[in-house]
Amino acid sequence: MRAYDRDDLLFQLFEVAQLEDQIAGTDLDREAVMGILDTADQIATDHFLPHGKLLDENDPEFVDGRAVIPDEAIAAVREQVEAGFIGSGFAPESGGMGLPETVHQAAAFIFSASNISLAGYGLLTVGAGRLIQSFGTEDQKKRYLEPMAEGRFFGTMCLSEPQAGSSLSDITTRAEPMEDGRYAISGRKMWISGGEQEISENIVHMVLAKIPGGPPGVKGISLFIVPKRNADGTPNDVTLAGLNHKMGYRGTTNCALNFGEKGACVGELLGEPHKGLSYMFQMMNEARIGVGMGATALGQAGYQASLAYARERPQGRSPAGKDPVSPQLPIIEHADIRRLLLAQKAAVEAALALSIYCTSLVDRERKGDEAAGPLLEILTPVTKSWPSEFCLEANKHAIQILGGAGYTRDYPVERYYRDNRLNHIHEGTHGIQGMDLLGRKVVMGGGAAFKGLMSTIRADIAAAADSEFAQPLSDALDRMEPVTLHLAGELMKDPTRGLANATLYLDCMGHVVMAWMWLRLTEAAKRVASRDGDTAFLRGKHQAARYFYARELVRTEGWAKTLSANDQTAFDMAADWF
């Protein structure tokens, strides 16, 4: 059985996102996209899905300064790389395939649903490589990016340090200029995913560090390319100090790295000095869409597992007819189980719709569509955070459906839950995303991106005037706009109190955006029904949308009240009152 719903993925790509229009006039057509997704499906089914439990139970081991992971993990990632799934993320001039982001990420979704921790290596490499693609010299591209596109070198992102996670301005890793124009790197990095592994020939670390004498804070941070091995194969003084033992994502090594312990670690500056963080942020949108996509994939995997279980597990009888000698019903017949299933479906399918919507924005932006950029900016914290929060909630429901079995390691659902718990934390915590949305994205350019988002949603509502969801969604926007205006005002008065409810604002905005996604999903379902006839699959879309509007969107009414009052109960709780 697959860990994702292939029919839903294809419906979302071809009917909701109308991918064929997006790729018209390129080398790609529907058949080629299907071929790509089929190869992803085969590799994921043969090599990713079977090893979830193995990797979870065999944490990477620290042996003589190496990070040892099971051979099966290495073989699986090699298959993925050799089929071209890392190269697909890079532009042709960098040795890649220049696949649209939508297609590249759809394949990533398949790998992530099948084994999120193995999917991590490729995603990191693409993220790191794109920094070089955007800001590197031709020579750097030749030496680092091309081998990454070929899958020979993998990449990492080295931002965090033990004392500097959310607050990157406080990093202390140093980069001393050397006579030959390169830099001597010294410092400690923490939490580095894929920081050490033996899948690839070499590892290209993208390291944030400060050049002494530069401005304080984030304006003094530069970005360096620091390979694990030099061109001649000798080590570049990057030491694995230890491995972190994590709650989930255990197939991805997570490392404490020491740079320059022996004073012999050499890095090359990427781009200009002191621009490191802004370079990182330019790549962050894509990485954050990827995090949301991963959280969605885990939500899907739990939904699929619990759905299959619910169809087969006989337990209990109908409240209306409790004849003790009648056979027990499969639990999918019980109202409460249908609620738990529908809650998952309503979350994961809308989350996938938003993930794909955002990858389409990346593609539109690459093609020079100017409206796409601001929309992507404002949606990025939502597409990263909403799935992290609410597809985790979905994983909770999946465990519940399995009852006692769900709480054991004989079934994958508790693992999905543990895996998914990371997604609130990395790539900017949930709290940091809330502040990014309210404190930056909503107010930037005089609220231009926010207004753009509202009018984009309103245009979809206008085009779906006969939809049962048009009015409630329009009402939700009517609530969101004054709340936003009010909070923007509070923010001007007092940034601390203005941002005190940023996380709630993020969740509230997320729910409105997901309601919009359900409008889009149901409109697509109608189009398909009138073209090919109605099916159970399409009816399920309308019912999930109804569930979302009836049970989730209504929650924004209460949240909007709390936000309008800019309730300060939590912040006013002094530290010594706890």
Partner 1 sequence: MKVLVPVKRVIDYNVKVRVKADGSGVDLANVKMSMNPFDEIAVEEAIRLKEAGKAEEVVAVSIGVKQAQETLRTALAMGADRAILVVAADDVHQDIEPLAVAKILKAVIDEEQPGLVLAGKQAIDNDMNATGQMLSALLGWSQATFASKLDIEGDHAVVTREVDGGLQTIKVTMPTIVTVDLRLNEPRYASLPNIMKAKKKPLDEKTAADYGVDVTPRLEVVKTEEPAAREAGIKVGSVDELVEKLKEAGAV
Ligand X SMILES: Cc1cc2nc3c(=O)[nH]c(=O)nc-3n(C[C@H](O)[C@H](O)[C@H](O)COP(=O)(O)OP(=O)(O)OC[C@H]3O[C@@H](n4cnc5c(N)ncnc54)[C@H](O)[C@@H]3O)c2cc1C
How many C-beta atoms lie closer than 10 Å to residue 474's C-beta? 14
Partner from ligand X, partner 1, none binding residue 474, C-beta < 5-8 Å depending on class: none
| Of the candidate residues 246, 250, 397, 511, the single one contacting ligand X (CB under 6 A) | 246
Window of 40-48, 206-214, 291-299, 542-550 that interacts with partner 1 by CB under 8 A: 40-48
Window of 25-33, 299-307, 467-475, 510-518 that interacts with partner 1 by CB under 8 A: 25-33
496 with 435: CB under 8 angstroms?
Answer: no
52 with 111: CB under 8 angstroms?
Answer: no
Does position 31 interact with partner 1 (CB under 8 A)? The reply is yes
453: tokens are 């988002």
How far out from the chain centre does Cα 148 lie? 21
Partner from partner 1, ligand X, none binding residue 67, C-beta < 5-8 Å depending on class: none
How far out from the chain centre does Cα 474 lie? 28
**Smallest gap, in angstroms, from Cβ of residue 537 to partner 1?**
8
Element (H, E) at 402: helix 372-402
Catalytic option among 268, 349, 427, 490 = 427
Strands 266-269 and 202-210: what pairing? unpaired
65: tokens are 């300064």
Does position 289 interact with partner 1 (CB under 8 A)? The reply is no
| Of the candidate residues 45, 58, 244, 543, the single one contacting partner 1 (CB under 8 A) | 45
82 with 47: CB under 8 angstroms?
Answer: no
Closest CA to 404 of 332, 342, 315: 315
∠ at Cα 573 (568, 575), nearest 5°? 140
Does position 400 interact with ligand X (CB under 6 A)? The reply is yes
Query: Scanning the structure block, which residue is given the tokens 């830099």?
Result: 183
How far out from the chain centre does Cα 286 lie? 9
Residue numbers 158-197 binding partner 1 by CB under 8 A: none
| Of the candidate residues 212, 404, 446, 533, the single one contacting ligand X (CB under 6 A) | 404
Window of 64-72, 97-105, 152-160, 526-534 that interacts with ligand X by CB under 6 A: 152-160
Strands 183-193 and 174-177: what pairing? antiparallel
**Total number of residues binding ligand X (CB under 6 A)?**
33
Query: Scanning the structure block, which residue is given the tokens 């601001």?
Result: 374
Query: Scanning the structure block, which residue is given the tokens 């593609």?
Result: 363
Question: Which residue number has the CB closest to ligand X?
Answer: 165
**Smallest gap, in angstroms, from Cβ of residue 251 to ligand X?**
11
Closest CA to 27 of 36, 15, 18: 36
Does position 535 interact with partner 1 (CB under 8 A)? The reply is yes
What CA–CA distances, in Å, run from 164 to 151, 171, 214, 216? Answer: 31, 6, 18, 14
Does position 431 interact with ligand X (CB under 6 A)? The reply is yes
| Of the candidate residues 24, 29, 93, 485, the single one contacting partner 1 (CB under 8 A) | 29
Does position 451 interact with partner 1 (CB under 8 A)? The reply is no
Helices (H), 206-329: 276-312
Does position 315 interact with ligand X (CB under 6 A)? The reply is yes
**Phi, then psi, of 527 in degrees rounded to 5:** -60, -45
**Phi, then psi, of 350 in degrees rounded to 5:** -70, -40
135 with 128: CB under 8 angstroms?
Answer: no
Does position 109 interact with ligand X (CB under 6 A)? The reply is no
How far out from the chain centre does Cα 140 lie? 28
Verify whether residue 20 is a known catalytic residue. Answer: no
Window of 42-50, 56-64, 170-178, 513-521 that interacts with partner 1 by CB under 8 A: 42-50
Element (H, E) at 355: helix 335-366
How far out from the chain centre does Cα 254 lie? 18
| Of the candidate residues 13, 23, 73, 97, the single one contacting partner 1 (CB under 8 A) | 97
Residue numbers 388-447 binding partner 1 by CB under 8 A: none
**Smallest gap, in angstroms, from Cβ of residue 107 to partner 1?**
9
218 with 169: CB under 8 angstroms?
Answer: yes
Comparing CB distances to ligand X, the nearer of 9 and 331 is 331
| Of the candidate residues 14, 18, 20, 32, the single one contacting partner 1 (CB under 8 A) | 32
Does position 43 interact with partner 1 (CB under 8 A)? The reply is yes
Residue numbers 164-203 binding ligand X by CB under 6 A: 165-167, 191-193
| Of the candidate residues 9, 55, 99, 207, the single one contacting partner 1 (CB under 8 A) | 99
Could you give the CA distance from residue 105 to residue 293 in angstroms, rounded to a whole number? 8
Residue numbers 274-313 binding ligand X by CB under 6 A: 313
Does position 410 interact with ligand X (CB under 6 A)? The reply is no
Residue numbers 61-90 binding partner 1 by CB under 8 A: 79, 82-85, 87-88
Kindly list the catalytic residues.
Answer: 427
Chain positions contacting partner 1, by CB under 8 A = 1-2, 6-7, 27-29, 31-32, 34-36, 38-39, 42-43, 45, 79, 82-85, 87-88, 97, 99, 535, 537
Name the residues that contact ligand X, by CB under 6 A.
156-160, 165-167, 191-193, 246, 249, 254, 313, 315-316, 331, 334, 336-337, 400-401, 403-405, 407, 422, 425-426, 429, 431-432
